[in-house]
Each structure stands twice: as structure tokens, then as C-alpha cells.
Amino acid sequence: MKHRIVVLGAGYTGAFAAGRLARRLSPEDVAITLVNAEPDFVERVRMHQLAAGQDLTPRPFAEMFAGTGVEFRLAQVTAVDADRKRVAVLDAEGAGELEYDTLVYALGSGWNAQGVTGTAEHAYEIASRPGALRLRERLARLDAGQAVTVVGGGLTGVEAVTELAETRPDLDVHFAVRGGLGDWLSPKGREHLRKVADRLGITVHEHAAVERVEAERIATATGDIPAAVTVWTAGFAVHPLAAATALEVTGTGQIVLDRTMRSVSHPDVYAVGDAGFAMGKNGKPLRMSCASGVPMAQVAADAIVARLTGGRVPEASIGYFNQCISLGRADGLIQYVTEDDRARNATLRGRFAARYKEIICKGAAWGVANPTFGLPTRRKRLTKTPTAQGSAMKALA
């Protein structure tokens, strides 16, 4: 019997981890199954572009993993029993179960309505492909002069509002932010963002904490803002599935991890990406992003390989370098940051920054299909027979 590795979720981090494991472990010893609810890879960092009407390159998993040794399974994960090491799935043939020896949990996140009244009924989200497509369809039906309000002053909100304003200059675009515009950026970064917002005709509402979303407006602490369409980008919330397991999770449902991305309660379970809670530099939790998720996936895959093959187990110390922000297709902002993600007084701005960001997005998708970065790797054999693997893993831990 082979050692069964099951990876749940084929977003940036799960797909990357599955590919990296397959390129480093011998297919004679391991069987790797990647489970995902959709048949093709979703470039989540481009959901604002999809919503604005751009078409994205299709990336079917069947092509991406052909010949890699990863078995792709199109199914919805419905439950995880971390004590019995089983995963419940639902696919075209009905309900089923997968058993694992090692689990990599990478189900990502969705939008976070933050409990604000009216969001479920009236707001649109761009954290998922169905959400972005729904917004795209709604925007196509808006007449010139109608109001669109983007809520949430973080990276996703900034990218969304600038993309929409650039694509639809005929609309009345508003941006509602809880604090000041770009208040986490350096002074140069803030100044550039403000200039771009002015150039694109975006009306910025600062210190406007949203209290209620209605069909034609949103109510904020500083007054009403018109909104034939409200686009909600105020943070991400993880899938509730992990919190329903015996795994140790945070109050917000992220799986609590050690420095090898392994669950602190269940040593056979790893979590990567938005679903996992791990510490970065200076003891600060990593933020939900590809910028932290891809290194998490790299560490988890390498730790699994090391534990199974008797190698040295890597301990992560994941830090940040920059924040790459698109401001429409023709402008951008690269904000350099400290290792613990605080803005430094250094930026790249304008057209060059837009190109840089585009290269980063393309590189992230390329990395999913080339998880060892195109470098040749040796497929290692496991140190123990698969039947003795459980105790081998404990011994190597």
C-alpha cells in the first residue's frame, strides 16, 4: 500500500503543494490526490479583472497535472474527520469518502460580510469566480451615470475600485473606506493612490464605516452613499469546514499551525494558504494572501517530504518584501515593506509598476504549473515501508 496524500483545494497553494510533492516523492511509494470543486484553476488575484469584463486564460487541471503523478478529483469536500483520517466528498456520482495518511488542507477563503445588515441581499463579492461573474453580469446592465460603490479600503478594494472606474468611466464610482485612503501605505504610496483615484474620477469617502447596505445606497457612519451596486471587499472569511472538525482552529476558523505548517493538534494534517494560521516574522500572523500562501505551501510540501524520507525538516520564517497593487491596467503601485509587512519609504509607481504586477500574476499562475520552479528534482523514496509510515512519521517528527 502506498502512502496516501490527499490535498483539499486546488487554489494557488493546494495546487502548488500537490505538484511540489509529486515532483519530489517517488510515485512507487506515494499516491497523491488533489480534490477541487472546480475543473480548472481560478486565478483569484484577477477576480476584479473578471468582474470588470476581461476574459481570463482557461487553465484546466487535467492539462496542468498531466504526467505529474497527481490524481485530480473533481468533487466538493463536505467534511473532514481528522481523528479517523477520512474526508467526505460529493461528486457527480454521489457521496464518497477518501482515506489519507497525510492531509494538506487548502480550501482557501471567501468573502466576509462582517455581519453588516443587508450585505447578503444587496452586496456583490469578488472573492470567488461565481461572485465575480455575477457582478460582471450586473455591471453590464448598468446605465451611464449609475452609482457603484466599492466597500473596503484594503488591497482588494483598491484594485477593484480602480479597475471598475478605468473600465467604466461612464459610471459614478465611489469608494467607502473605514480609515483614511491607503493609510497603511507610505506617504509616496498614499499620494500616488490619491492621484490615481482623482484621475479616474472616483469619489472617496474616508472614515465611512458601513452600517447597512440597501438596494440603492449604503448607510455609513458619515452619511449615505449612493449605490445601485455595492461591491463588498472588506476582508476574507475561511471555509467553515475546519471549525467543524477536531482540529485546533482560531476563533475565525483558521487551522493553527506550527512552523512547518503542520496542525498543532493533528500531526498528519498540514494547512496552507488562507485556511491556515501561522506566524511570520516578528511573531506577527501571516496575512491571507498569495504572498504568504505560496511560501506556506512550499514549506509544508518540503516538511512532508523530509518527514517521509528522513531528510532535515525545514522550519519556516516567512517574511514579506513588497505589496504589488494594480490600479487598473495602465497604472500600479509597488509598495516595498519590511519583513513583517510594514510600509517602507520606497515605491514603484505608474506604468512600470503595472507591468511588474502583471509579471507577478503571470508568475503565480506559472508557479502552480511549475512548482519546483522548472528546476530538476529527484523523486525520493520513502524511508520506511508504507505500512510502518504512521510510526515512522512520529519518529521523524
Ligand X SMILES: Cc1cc2nc3c(=O)[nH]c(=O)nc-3n(C[C@H](O)[C@H](O)[C@H](O)COP(=O)(O)OP(=O)(O)OC[C@H]3O[C@@H](n4cnc5c(N)ncnc54)[C@H](O)[C@@H]3O)c2cc1C
Binding site for ligand X (CB under 6 A): 9-14, 35-38, 42, 44-45, 47-48, 76-77, 106-109, 126-127, 155-156, 159, 239, 273-275, 288-291, 293, 324
- Closest distance of CB 95 from ligand X, Å: 13
- Closest distance of CB 310 from ligand X, Å: 29
Nearer of residues 47 and 197 to ligand X, judged by Cβ: 47
Task: Show the cell assigned to 341.
Answer: 509587512
Nearer of residues 108 and 253 to ligand X, judged by Cβ: 108
Nearer of residues 109 and 162 to ligand X, judged by Cβ: 109
Q: What are phi and psi of 257, to 5 degrees?
A: -120, 155
Residue at 92: amino acid letter: A
State the Cα–Cα distance between residues 20 and 297, nearest whole angstrom. Answer: 9
Nearer of residues 9 and 392 to ligand X, judged by Cβ: 9
Nearer of residues 63 and 216 to ligand X, judged by Cβ: 63
Neighbours of 1 (CB within 10 A): 9
Q: Edge-to-edge strand order for the sheet containing 70-74?
A: 70-74, 30-36, 3-8, 102-105, 269-271
Q: Is the dihedral of CA 186, 335, 53, 133 positive or negative?
A: negative
- Closest distance of CB 360 from ligand X, Å: 7
- Closest distance of CB 311 from ligand X, Å: 25
Cβ atoms of residues 327 and 348 within 8 Å? no
Nearer of residues 18 and 171 to ligand X, judged by Cβ: 18
- Closest distance of CB 319 from ligand X, Å: 14
- Closest distance of CB 59 from ligand X, Å: 11
Cα atoms found within 13 Å of the Cα of residue 327, Cβ hemisphere only: 26
CA 214 to chain centre: 28
Nearer of residues 230 and 389 to ligand X, judged by Cβ: 230
- Closest distance of CB 108 from ligand X, Å: 2
Using Cβ positions, the residue closest to ligand X within the complex turns out to be 11
Phi-psi region of 52 (alpha: psi -120 to 50; beta: other; left: phi over 0): alpha
Cβ atoms of residues 294 and 16 within 8 Å? yes
Looking up cell 519518529, which residue turns up?
A: 395
